[in-house]
Chains A and B, each alone.
Chain A
Amino acid sequence: MRAFGNPRLVFTMAMSVLAFLYAPILVMMIFSFNDSTYTGLPFNGFTLHWYRELFSDQQMLFSIWNSIYVAIGVVIISATFGVPAAIALDRFEFPGKGVFRRIVMLPIVLPGIITGVALLGFYLTIHFRLSLHTIMLGQGTGLMCVTITEVFARLQQLGRSQTEAAVNLGANEWEVFRHVTLPGIRSALFGAMLIVFSVSFDEIAVTFLLTGRENTLPMTLWSLLRREVTPEVNAVASLVVVMSIILIVCGMYASRRQETSAGES
């Protein structure tokens, strides 16, 4: 089929969109190596000074660790509760199933700030002390819908006959889950965990309202930026970008590999 429209025009448009998306990030990464106390031109020379600065900045390191800690907790919560929910949706008929399906998807549409305010009110009412764990709970329940959607889609695609074959051969519920369901959904679950991790890592709306004394990375960056923009911020942002790319590539590779082996059987 002939390409739609003028190929050169289409190419230019695509390139401008990509440039608009990624050029700022690239510029930011370049300036993290700039030997200057300000983010901006001129480029005075290459330095790793800001990375050294970053790794000796206790507050920054601490908030990075906090972010990782929260993200891991969120991944665990969303997987622990999301997988059984997805299995229930796929396998069982129960009253109110349609409503349940829509309700668990709600956090995707709901603005984070609303979820945050609601949770804050709830925690205060039941006298929950705000901490990293309240952030975890808040994000975890919200991001569960990502796990449910991904895993549910995979379960639908897998169909029921493998499960039935296992039960027919005498496997109990746990054995079916361990040997059939889990291997079947593994790559989808892994992909969902990566998405949840990266969304949680830079989440700010819910976190802003639910945070206690400790700060996560986006919160620290936010407060830093209000005072001044040093290339240290560029350095930490560059690291986050690189880490995200690595995670995404890992996730894609893992799911691709499993699809080829599960594909046609």
Chain B
Amino acid sequence: MTTGIELKNLRKMYESHGHAAWAVDGVDMTIGAGKFVTLLGPSGCGKTTTLRMIAGLEIPTSGQILRDGMDITDQPVTDRDMRMVFQDFALFPNMTVEENVAFGLRVRRMKGSISESEIRKRVAQFLDLVHLADHGQKKPHQLSGGQKQRVSLARALVTDPKVVLFDEPLGSLDANLRKIMQIELIRLHRELGKTFIYVTHDQDEAMAMSDAIAVMSGGKVAQFGAPREIYDRPVNRYVASFIGHAHIVDAEVDGRESGELTLRLRNGERVALPHQNTTAGVGSPVGLMLRAEDLTFADQAPGAIGGRIADSLYRGEYIEYVVELHGGAGVVHVHSRTDTPLVRHGASVALKVNPAKAHVLVH
């Protein structure tokens, strides 16, 4: 059975100065073999602790970690055949790039099973894979941040693990380099077909690279699914506001008819949406998630929301308008193409919601 990694009610408690707190509080997840899965969340949400438990660097307080159906919860780190890429690279400063990469092949576990010439060949092959073929004799302190992370990557991949773990590997790189490395990582994942488990607090990074994202909060998984699913249909306000730039307007369910849900905003305006997969009954309070790219300016059409331009920001790729809804019903942002005429500050506008993308949040 090749199910990859399975986490079953995984929990980790930390104690400091007599206070006990759950860093990870019941994580259940199945990570398919060969998938690129990201644990996403703000610092302190338990994502790194979860990753370190998978690696064996932390011992779970309770729960199980399964790999291909086999319980590996108590297996020592050295036997797990999972390699980790660290945020601070964790290169060995006294060794050359080549020696760093060869380390995993030279330690006792692999000794005897692989010849010195084979080690050299593999090291050269993987340095080539991360475009560092000419840097083998350098010491880590002679490399740039991006190069260090490539060495760290080669060092992890050279031992041919089935699972590679990433602990915010791009966190200490600048924005441009981060974009280049993202593309590099996707390429490596595609070429090598290994399971990548990736931890980050950067939602763009998570969206761009992952097959699936687990959004974490307070030691729990708030939502686990494909990037598109999490972006379009977040399960609650936390996920909605963490992913993308969503604005949530308070509303109340006004009517449910077949194929249509009507919401009433706080200013009394009504918005009709095509059938939403929600259980909220008539009269119950909900949140209407409105993303900037799903709102367009409209003529005073029925079903449009009225508001006033409070600010406009020129972003280069688009113009971002801050719109205050009438009657203090909330604030939303609207992205508009730069070749459309600029709407004046203070002008009254009507907004049309893209019915396919509007999403109702019950929690």
Contact = CB atoms under 8 A, between A and B. Distances in A.
Contacts of A260: 141
A265 B141 contact: yes
Interface string B79-91: 0001110101111
A53 interface: no
B22 interface: no
Interface in B63-121: 77-78, 82-84, 86, 88-95, 103-104, 107-110
A162 B90 contact: yes
A129 B78 CA distance: 48
A172 B108 CA distance: 8
A179 B57 contact: no
Contact of B91 (A164, A170, A265): A265
Chain A residues touching B, majority SS: helix
Interface in A175-220: 175, 179-180, 183-184
A12 interface: no
A243 interface: no
A263 B78 CA distance: 28
B270 interface: no
B155 interface: yes
A264 B108 contact: no
A166 B100 CA distance: 10
A183 B95 CA distance: 10
A51 to B, nearest CB: 42
A170 B78 contact: yes
Contacts of B7: none
Contacts of B95: 179
B47 to A, nearest CB: 17
A168 interface: yes
Contacts, number: 81
A169 B108 contact: no
**Interface residue tally on B, bucketed by range:** 20 to 34
A193 B141 CA distance: 27
A27 interface: no
A169 B88 CA distance: 16
B194 interface: no
B72 to A, nearest CB: 14
Contacts of B8: none
A179 B92 CA distance: 8
Interface string B151-166: 0100110010000000
Interface in A144-184: 159, 161-162, 164-172, 175, 179-180, 183-184
B150 interface: no
Given A166-B103, A168-B83, A159 B159 contact: no
B90 A161 contact: yes
Given A171-B107, A172-B78, A184-B93, 8 more contacts: A162-B92, A165-B92, A168-B83, A172-B107, A180-B92, A183-B93, A184-B94, A261-B141
Which 10 pairs from chain A and chain B are nearest by CB?
Answer: A169-B104, A265-B140, A165-B90, A170-B109, A161-B90, A183-B94, A262-B93, A265-B93, A171-B107, A265-B141
Interface of B: 55, 57, 77-78, 82-84, 86, 88-95, 103-104, 107-110, 139-141, 148, 152, 155-156, 159
15 contacts: A165-B86, A165-B90, A165-B152, A168-B83, A169-B103, A169-B104, A170-B110, A171-B78, A171-B107, A175-B107, A179-B95, A184-B93, A263-B141, A265-B91, A265-B140
